[in-house]
Structure 1
Amino acid sequence: MGRSVLDGEQALVPNRASIPLFPRLSLQTVNMKFNPFVTSDRSKNRKRHFNAPSHVRRKITSSPLSEELRQKYSVRSMPIREDDEVQVVRGHYKGQQIGKVVQVYRKKYVIYIERVQREKANGTAVHVGIHPSKVVITRLNLAGQRSEKNSRTQSQISTVWKRERQI
C-alpha cells in the first residue's frame, strides 16, 4: 500500500522522540494562576498602583523594621509614619546616619528624612525624597493607635508562647 504524508514527515526526522513538540514551552516554566479574581496584567497593576487612594498608599509606603524591632514585635515591616527614626540602606544617601522622618508624601510614594538634603542652584536646602522600601525603621513613633496595636500583638505573641510551652 501507499505511504501517507505523515509517514514521509517522520522519515525526515531520524529520532522523533528526542525533539519536543513545543520547544518554547519546554524551556519555560508555566505558572498557573490560582485566583481568578486577581489580575497579573502589568498595565492593570501599574494603573492600580499609580491611581491608588490614600489609605492604600499608606500600606504601600511600608518600611522594613530593624532586627531588634523585628524580634520585639514579630513583624517584618510596618507602614512608615512621621517621627519614626530610620536609616537609609540603599542609594546615594545610604550610611550609618539615622534621621527622623519629617514628612510622608503619599502622592509621590516618598518620605523626607531629617538630614537627607541637597542644595538647589539658588543655595536653598531641600529634602530629597526617598522610597520607604530603601530605609530601615530603627525606632517607632508609638503615639496613638500604633501603641495599642503593638501591645495587642505583644499579648497575642505571649499567649502563643505560653501555649507552646504547655504542649
Structure 2
Amino acid sequence: MTPSAAYPSGGACKRGAAIPPQAAGGAIQLCSQGMGHRFLSALARQGRLTSRLARASSEYFRRQTVAMKFNPFVTSDRSKNRKRHFNAPSHVRRKIMSSPLSKELRQKYNVRSMPIRKDDEVQVVRGHYKGQQIGKVVQVYRKKYVIYIERVQREKANGTTVHVGIHPSKVVITRLKLDKDRKKILERKAKSRQVGKEKGKYKEELIEKMQE
C-alpha cells in the first residue's frame, strides 16, 4: 500500500511521528509505530475507531513527541551513554558520585551538593537502609559507584559482617570533612551560585543612569 493510499491527507508518515487526527470518511489517521499503533491504524482504516479512543490515542501520540536537540555533539544514544557511564575514568566518577548537602549546610555554605569523600558524615534517606541514624563514610568505592558507611552492615551466611554499598544519591551529607582544598571548592561554588542569582538583575547605579 502506498503512503498516499494509507494516509489520504497526502503526507507519508515517518516512523515515530504522530499525525494529527483528521476526519477522512469517519476514520482517524494515526502513524503506526509498534504493534499497538498498528492496531489503532487498522481500526482507523476500517472505520471502527471510536471518537473516545481516537482522542485518547492522539493525546498519547502528542505526549510522545521528542524535544528538540540543542547540541548535535552530545549523543542521546542509550547504549553510548551507558558505556561512557560504566567506563568513566576516576576523575569523572568523582563528580558523578556527588551527594546533596543537608538543609543546615546548604544555608551555611550556599552550596547544593558536593562530591562525597571519606570521613564525611551522611544520613541514608532512600532505600532499604534509610533512617535517622547518621554514620561516617568509611570508604568511597568509585569502581562500583558506591560508598560504605560505618553503621550500614549486614551479616553473611558464615556469620561475618560486611558493609553494604550505598549509592551517593541515596544519602544526604550532614557534616563535611573540611580541609584547605575543600574550603576553596566551597568558596568557588558559592561564588558562582551567587553570580547566577544576580544575573539579569538591574543594579541601583544602572537604574539611576537609565532614569537620567
Please tell me the TM-score bracket, short chain as reference.
Answer: 0.7 to 0.9
In the alignment, does 2:83 pair up with 1:47? Answer: yes
The aligned counterpart of 1:14 is 25
Change (3 A) 1:44 1:156: closer
Who is 2:175 aligned against?
139
What amino acid is aligned across from residue 108 of structure 1 in structure 2? Answer: K
The answer to whether the 8 A contact 1:85-1:99 is kept is: yes
How far apart are 1:23 and its partner, in Å?
Answer: 7.1
Cα shift at 1:154:
5.0
Contact 1:73 1:153 in 2 (8 A): no
Contact 1:20 1:26 survives alignment (8 Å): no
User: Which one of the candidate residues 106, 111, 115 is aligned to 1:70?
Assistant: 106
Q: Which runs of 5+ in 1 are unaligned?
A: none
Pick from 145, 148, 152 the counterpart of residue 112 of structure 1: 148
Q: Distance in 2 between matches of 1:157 and 1:57?
A: 23
**Which residue matches 1:79?**
115
Counterpart Cα distance in 2 of 1:121 and 1:34: 52
CA distance, structure 2, for counterparts of residue 132 and residue 155 of structure 1: 25
Q: 1:57 aligns to what?
A: 93
Higher RCO structure (Cα 8 Å, ≥6 apart): 1
Shift of 1:98: 0.1
Aligned length in residues = 157
> In structure 2, the residue corresponding to 1:52 is in which secondary structure?
coil
Root-mean-square deviation (Å): 3.1
TM value normalised by structure 1: 0.79
Structure 1's 112 and 21: CA in aligned 2 closer, same or farther, altered over 3 A?
closer
Higher mean C-alpha deviation, range 70-79 or range 32-41? 70-79
Instruction: Tell me: CA distance 1:71–1:141, structure 2 relative to 1, closer, same or farther (3 Å).
Output: same
Identity of aligned residues (%): 72
Distance 2:167 2:157 in 1: 24
